Structure 1
């Protein structure tokens, strides 16, 4: 029952965590913030872990572990609901656009503005969304606090009360279920991203953008309500589970006599089990905390394992956080800069659009018949438009030239031009390699946990798991999304503009530079960890040889002691013949 409950809790936290990763692009656009700030929001989950992980892991191991896990699940659900709150208090989403529409008329206004668009910003009102992302930040912190006891207390509980040969299997089952969580989390994110953010509040016929537009914001808040409900449900079964279970007895010990069973507790086969008879006084536990921590950090195998994990988690978290953005930018639109009319600001204005006071800061892309994407219909030289909403077509676009000799009405449509066919052909290969690499990475999950809980003293198990989680959250989970996002921001080609001015979210990136920096940084961090792994293997091999040598020495000493006892008993029989039935018969 505990295994099923913990598996469901792992599923719930993995679902909400992966859904958070899938919505970073939506949050970036909704709150008009750059990627590095999204990295801060994403790292706030680890900040919550950092606040309480060491104390929860140390004190929680000596208290009622299932109930502490239940409290953590409740906090996670409340934090998830808090993330969705800004949607209900922020107001409707306003799309950044330079296109002016006529009201109650079948004729649309000209894309060419009558005055400079920058002059209309003087009297604008500041939006309340400037600080709305703080709710997401605080909600993610609360999620991190709630997630703290699930892994260290759950894994240590299984290892304490499961038979030695089954512990790895049970931990593997939990890890497998936790892998299923991201599958549903990203599926939920994909579904919500297709739904417009203000669905039910606006007429969808008036929305001029599609999900493929860089300004599109999906119903990001809906998935958090679903994930929060599932997380709240995962807390229920832990309230009905006991504080401890009967200590397992290995199969080869079942034939022992009652007199022999009193030695089972000290059997070498049970050496990794936690001793529940330890003092439960909070004062005593607090007094022993620093010496216990010093003893744990003095284990060279454990420290090496931490460094390897931190480097690999930096690579993994940074890659996973921005992978949806990478796929969107690299495979969702043109990979050729020659197919996008941007470059230097001076190239935006030319003779074909000089008659209009076009803004170089607006982002309202249109696709011309010549296959080139223009930043706005004004910069495409369009002078009129027909149709409404997404079906709008801009006419008489003087900058759209199909050929030198072609004449007539050259048009442009809303949205960026479709990406090249080569991008569609390459994406399946990218997806296959991603699946293969994810499978290879996941092979080390269960062995790593078993190494972690076996290379330390049994009473330090929960604390070791807690410090492990603390180190990976602090040195990988928090900084990786931030510096990955900051590096990605350097590849931005066009930044969005907020309603009252100032830089907003990035609209399009230099995909070549994005690819080199994103994949190069991921590969570099993991390569460094591999070199450190070589040292770790050598250290572990030396440690195992030392343990085997100590075991042989202790075994020889015990054998010599037993031989002395046997000689003493023989000497005793010389003076007490009644203790030997055969000798008594002879006499």
Structure 2
């Protein structure tokens, strides 16, 4: 089945990729230079409503069981909070595909040429003129294409910008890919709730930040150097803020045989995360020794002592009442061995919820994410503008195309792979497939997961700021050089004008508004 998903994503990528390089270049071609950042800010702000709606819709679909409509839901005993829950992910593709077909129709009506506001120097007026489509003097060839690529490859500003952006995009893609899993494992949130919170908090903050960044650039008429400094400053401040996530986390859940012993004592069993197998003896105790329980089954239950057991059998339960999600297991000997009254020695399906302290940590995490995303969003428009301004006008579309290709291939593909591989090393308990192979991870070590996930995200971004400082220095030199050349040309023109005036006729002096004795 993965082949169908692969082909579908290939087709989707082919269709959506040209929109970014050609669309942004299209705006820059027909807008005034001082308005380009604002228009790009509008574009990216509106574009964020798509992911926002997608996260909201995804939150709803994640609440639905993957086989909804094909199974009797009364027989499904797990809830969306369970690590084994799989939502109806496939519904999102059906909705998104239908909407994509509908919104593609207006693209067919984009004109081949547009009226552009140009200055008519003869009349000292700003008028709209039809921008003519320049026909190439020679037929496009592969040689010309490679020559253009060579120009990009030897453009130091462009190369440095692409390399530092690759580092940041690797960090961003890894972060956004595993953010729902991080919120689930670190703070006990369901995937559905994680998507909902991302949709209503983080993305609107990014949209407001992008819009504000565009307005700032338009109001103060930022040039190449100012835009580069804005992109660096907002990104770096957001990076510093993100480092506080290291201390905004929760402790491991108390799970018998994994993080605590059956006596309720914290044990050094977290070392199990460093190996791919676990010791059966860790899950067996005198309270469940006669139950002949499977130590590979993950069917967690929460005891009245707020300790999670891998299954009701391993909790030593002898009876039950109710069915489905309402079932309750009673007379659990492992709870009774901890001096719990017989009447309270019962467990319920599902892992025990996080503590109130963890809930407050999660609130702090959400607030921090909103603020840092807002600050980072301010750099959104500036980041695209400096790409356009780093190359000559005839290479804008190609530069954006190459830029997006590199981002997708060198960041979009590898980042989820190595992020996932390193995160898997923090797993405490692996599931087991029906055929006996290793399944999905059921529980991660909270501290190791946090340090790996946040550390890898920060580690990818940190070196990029060294290159960013180098990039700003190169831009400053480039701008200074251009200013010197323009000044020299201007002085040269004035000198020629003075020389011409010495030999100008009286009529020419009058036309220029100059009174000079040397005029004939």
The normalised TM-score by structure 1 is 0.69
Deviation at residue 338 of structure 1 after TM alignment: 6.2
Match of 2:134?
277
2:107 corresponds to which residue? 238
Closer, same or farther in 2 for the Cα pair 1:338/1:201, shift >3 Å?
closer
Query: Are the counterparts in 2 of residues 373 and 417 from structure 1 also a CA contact under 8 Å?
Result: yes
Match of 2:403 in 1: 468
Distance in 2 of aligned mates of 1:557 and 1:292:
33
Query: Is 1:525 the equivalent of 2:460?
Result: yes
1:339 maps to 2:254: yes
User: What are the residue-to-residue correspondences of 1:181-196 with 2, within 5 Å?
Assistant: 181-196=50-65
The counterpart of 1:229, out of the listed 86, 94, 98, is: 98
Counterpart for residue 329 of structure 1: 185
TM-superposed deviation, 1:137: 2.9
How do 1:164-563 and structure 2 match up within 5 A? Answer: 164-250=33-119, 253=121, 255-256=123-124, 276-279=133-136, 283-332=139-188, 335-337=250-252, 339-343=254-258, 345=279, 346-401=281-336, 403-404=338-339, 406-407=341-342, 410-563=345-498
Matched, 1:159 2:28: yes
Identify the residue that residue 2 of structure 2 maps to in structure 1: 133
Instruction: Label 1:313 to 1:340 Cα distance change in 2 as closer, same or farther (>3 A).
Output: same
Matches of 1:505 and 1:275 in 2, distance apart? 59
Asked if 1 retains the 8 angstrom alpha-carbon contact of 2:187 and 2:359, the reply is yes
Q: How much has 1:195 moved relative to structure 2?
A: 1.3
Deviations along 1:542-574, whole A, 9 cap, x unmatched? 111011111112222333333444444449999
Equivalent in the alignment of 2:213? none
Counterpart-to-counterpart distance in 2, 1:358 and 1:286: 68
Partners of 2:72 and 2:448 lie apart in 1 by 39
Judging changes above 3 Å, is the alpha-carbon distance between structure 1 residues 255 and 305 closer, same or farther for their aligned structure 2 residues?
same
SS in 2 for 1:214: coil
Task: Tell me how far 1:445 sits from its aligned partner.
Answer: 1.2
Name which of structure 1's ranges 210-219 and 406-415 shifts more when overlaid on structure 2: 406-415
Question: Hey, what does 1:28 align to over in structure 2?
Answer: none
Q: Kindly tell me: are residues 522 and 565 of structure 1, through their superposed partners in 2, closer, same or farther at Cα, counting changes over 3 Å?
A: same
CA distance in 1, matches of 2:187, 2:508: 89
1:67-106 matches, within 5 Å, as none
Secondary structure, counterpart of 2:169 in structure 1: helix
| Shift in Å, 1:136 | 2.4
Offset at 1:147? 1.4
* Pair 547,208 (structure 1): closer, same or farther in 2 beyond 3 Å: same
C-alpha deviations, 1:327-373, integer Å up to 9, x for none? 01111179444611133522201121111221111111111222111
1:455-509 deviation line (CA, Å, top 9, x unaligned): 2211111001111112222222111111111111111111121121211111111
What secondary structure does 1:508 align onto? strand
Q: Indicate the SS of the match to 1:249.
A: strand
Could you tell me how far apart the structure 1 residues matched to 2:72 and 2:125 are? 79
Structure 2: runs of 5+ lacking an equivalent: 190-248, 259-277, 510-514
Distance 2:56 2:161 in 1: 33
1:527 deviation in Å?
Answer: 1.5
Alpha-carbon distance between aligned partners in 2 of 1:212 and 1:175, rounded to the nearest angstrom: 33
Q: C-alpha distance in 1, partners of 2:80/2:121?
A: 64
Give the structure 1 partner of residue 200 of structure 2: none
SS, match of residue 400 in structure 1: helix
CA distance change for structure 1 residues 257 and 146 in 2, over 3 Å: closer, same or farther? closer
For the Cα contact (< 8 Å) 2:331–2:342, is it kept in 1? no
Give distance in 2, aligned partners of 1:166 and 1:349. Answer: 69
Structure 1 residue 535 displacement after superposition: 0.9
Deviation at 1:300, TM superposition (A): 1.4
Q: Is the 8 A contact 2:253 2:354 kept in 1?
A: no
Alpha-carbon offset, residue 377 of structure 1: 1.3
Counterpart mapping for 1:137-152 below 5 A: 137-152=6-21
CA contact (8 A) 2:304 2:344 kept: no
Instruction: Tell me the distance in 2 between the aligned counterparts of 1:371 and 1:230.
Output: 46
Write out per-residue CA displacement over residues 177-235 of structure 1, whole angstroms, 9 at most, x where no aligned residue. 12222221111111111112222222221111111111111111112211111111110
Structure 2 Cα separation of the partners of residues 158 and 313 of structure 1: 24
**d(CA) in 2 for partners of 1:241 and 1:143?**
21
Aligned residues of 2:252 and 2:447 also touching (Cα < 8 A): no
Cα distance in 2 for partners of 1:319, 1:348 equals 34
Tell me the distance in 1 between the aligned counterparts of 2:125 and 2:81.
Answer: 73
Question: Greater relative contact order: 1 or 2 (C-alpha under 8 angstroms, separation 6 or more)?
Answer: 1
**Uncovered stretches (5+) of structure 1, i.e. residues with no partner:** 1-131, 266-273, 575-581
CA RMSD of aligned residues (A): 2.7
Residue 236 of structure 1, CA deviation? 0.7
- Does the CA-based 8 Å contact 1:370-1:402 persist in structure 2? no
Q: CA distance change for structure 1 residues 526 and 233 in 2, over 3 Å: closer, same or farther?
A: same
